[in-house]
Amino acid sequence: MSSDTHTDPSTDSSTDLYIGVDVGGTKVLAGEVDPDGGVRRTARRATPGRRVEVALVEQALTEAVAEVAAGRRVAGVGIAAAGFVDAVGERVVFAPHLPWRGEEVRARLQSRWDVPVVLDNDANCAARAEATLGAARDEPDFLLVTMGTGIGGGVVLGGRVHRGRNGMAGEFGHMQVVPDGRPCECGGEGCWEQYTSGNALVRAARSRVGRVPTALTAACGGDPEALTGPMVTEAASGGDRAALEAFGTVGDWLGVGVANLVAAFDPPLVVVGGGVSAAADLLLDPARAALARSLVGSEHRDLPEVVRAHFGGDAGIVGAALLARQTRA
């Protein structure tokens, strides 16, 4: 993406090319995003993992961004990182599912690509998209929970993303919900994301393969390790009992955790995004029931509405591109 491959810049900033990049535990998704949040050309790469060299992750980002740019001049790139981003948006301090540990991600990528780059946590980017153009555009105060490989979160107060002193507010996925529970990639045990996330859904479904009659067995060819989240969603949408039970388990844990967040923040709205949210009410119905059951004093208060993110799994790239556009403006 060096300057010698760029075309002449447009004088109309609304036509400039802004790219959002969502860097998660399993994939890198880059997309061209227009001013209204529309996602045009996209590119996807597999995330190399958390036990690889940082350069391999950044190479995957570079390939995805270059594919979306397709030789055109890029006005700005926003990076939505699944990790703890510092308060000034320069470093990924820690990423449970990626190898970044205190890395100067923004400056390094900006130098490598020769375009303006901004950086924030992926859930904060998703919250920005939903607050500006999505499911919470008419609500100045809300919480966002993103469900992908793990769990992310965003806090929006007065229409602004609340990032906290260190820039790390909203890391809901690593709240401990089960003492001495399942080990987590973050190094802790019993974290919320070990019980409700894309990984948790697949784990719950795999435990049922071979034990009960289920369409999941056919979907994965009898090999539980071959089972994926989309397979579980498709089977549940078709009424498969085992897949629905897996969603019920994960949705129940989602509702329990949301109840804790509601007790702390008392928001009028909770938006659920990320790839797993594509299952919509298969996930949200058990979550709403668990919220009502688990929240202290629920019968004496107005419960928040729990809705699916408008941008679904694209919220991170939309919010990252919006941040890049707003920063340049």
HEC profile of 309-322? CCCHHHHHHHHHHH
Q: What percent of the chain has pLDDT over 90?
A: 79
Continuous segment of H or E residues that includes residue 260: helix 241-265
Phi-psi region of 246 (alpha: psi -120 to 50; beta: other; left: phi over 0): alpha
Q: How far is CA 239 from the centre of its chain?
A: 27
pLDDT value of residue 1:
53
Q: What is the CATH number for 90? A: 3.30.420.40
297 and 183 within one domain: yes
In a domain, 256, yes or no: yes
Assigned domain for 55 exists: yes
Q: Are residues 88 and 174 located together in one domain of the fold? A: no
- List CB contacts of 179: < 8 A, sequence separation 6 or more: 189, 190
pLDDT at 93 over 70: yes
Within-domain flag for 133: no
Q: Is residue 324 part of a domain?
A: yes
Give the total number of structural domains in the chain.
2
Same domain, 119 and 264: no
Q: What is the pTM of this model?
A: 0.86
pLDDT-derived band at 25, boundaries 50, 70, 90: confident
Q: How far is CA 85 from the centre of its chain?
A: 14
With cut-offs at 50, 70 and 90, classify the pLDDT of residue 11: very low
Do residues 184 and 294 share a domain? yes
Q: Say yes or no to pLDDT of 285 above 80.
A: yes
Q: According to the model, what pLDDT value does residue 13 have? A: 56
308 sits in which H/E element: strand 305-308
Q: Which residues contact 181 (CB under 8 A, 6 or more apart)?
A: 189, 190, 191, 194, 195
Mean pLDDT of the chain, nearest integer: 91
Chain-centroid distance, C-alpha 115: 24
Residues 269 and 323 in one domain: no
Same structural domain, 158 and 283: yes
List, in sequence order, every beta strand (DSSP E) within 115-242: 117-121, 142-147, 151-157, 160-161
Range of the domain at 222: 138-309
Q: Tell me, yes or no, whether 204 lies in a domain.
A: yes
Q: Which residues in the chain belong to E strands, given as ranges?
A: 18-23, 27-33, 39-46, 76-81, 84-85, 92-94, 117-121, 142-147, 151-157, 160-161, 269-273, 305-308
Query: Does residue 20 share a domain with residue 152?
Result: no
132 within domain boundaries: no
Q: What is the mean pLDDT of residues 261-278?
A: 92
Rounded CA separation 318/37 (Å): 6
149-201 tens-digit pLDDT: 889 999 999 999 999 999 999 999 999 999 999 999 889 999 999 999 999 99
What are 310's two structure tokens?
Answer: 């408008």
Report the Cα 192 to chain-centroid distance in Å: 15
Of 60-74, 182-196, 210-224, which gets the smallest average pLDDT?
Answer: 210-224
Asked whether the CA dihedral 102, 195, 157, 121 is positive or negative, the reply is positive
Q: Do 163 and 181 touch, CB atoms closer than 8 A?
A: no
Cross-strand bridge partners of residue 18: 76
Q: Give me 74's structure tokens.
A: 């890029």
Residues 157, 108, single domain; the answer is: no
146 and 181 housed in the same domain? yes
In a domain, 193, yes or no: yes
Examine the domain organization and report whether 99 and 188 are in the same domain.
no
Place of tokens 């996930």: 283
Are 95 and 150 in a shared domain? Answer: no
Q: Do residues 276 and 144 both lie within one domain?
A: yes
- For residue 20, tell me if it sits in a domain: yes
